[in-house]
Amino acid sequence: MRFILNIIWLVLSGFWMALGYVVAGIICCVLIITIPFGIASFRIAGYALWPFGRTVVAKPTSGVMSFLGNVIWFLVAGLWLAIGHAVSGILLCLTIIGIPFGIANFKMIPISLAPLGKDIVTAREADYRYSRYGYR
């Protein structure tokens, strides 16, 4: 079922959102200081391309530098990518078939705003971390 959802997602929204993250990653990699943001953008592009069956979990070891990086990310690319997810989600929710994909777009807004200090893992890995360590 996840495979079918991912294929439909890829056609309706995934390709364009992943393309936006790749463009943001390339722009961030042009400047040497923002290379970590570019790497995070490429990581999220893979998630935006094929999201079903994966989830976002917080890294417990991230600290103040992740917070400061997320502030810079928000100003450079995060706000525009979040607007892209919101617009795409609203448009997808206009049809009954698109509602699950619109909701998936809305769920991606927090990671588009603040990607540093987060991991993208499979749902099985997230359940394992929760059962073993007590966090997601």
Nearest to 109 by CA among 74, 68, 72, 64: 74
What are the backbone angles phi and psi of residue 57, rounded to the nearest 5°? -125, 150
pLDDT score, position 136: 55
- Stated pTM of the model: 0.83
Instruction: Give, for 88, the enclosing helix (H) or strand (E).
Output: helix 79-92
Local structure of 121: helix, strand or coil: strand
- Predicted confidence (pLDDT) at residue 115 exceeds the cutoff of 60: yes
> Which residue do the tokens 């989830």 mark?
55
Closest CA to 78 of 25, 119, 30: 25
Nearest-angstrom CA–CA distance, 80 and 51: 20
Torsion of CA 114, 118, 123, 125, to 10 degrees: 180
- Consecutive H or E run containing 44: helix 35-49
Q: For residue 122, what pLDDT is reported?
A: 85
pLDDT, tens digit, 9 for 90 and up, residues 29-73: 998 888 888 998 999 999 999 988 888 888 877 788 888 989 988
pLDDT at 120: 86
Cβ atoms of 50 and 14 closer than 8 Å:
yes
Integer Rg of the chain from CA: 15
Q: What is the pLDDT of residue 135?
A: 60
Contact 19, 81 (CB under 8 A): no
pLDDT band for 93, please (50, 70, 90 cuts).
very high
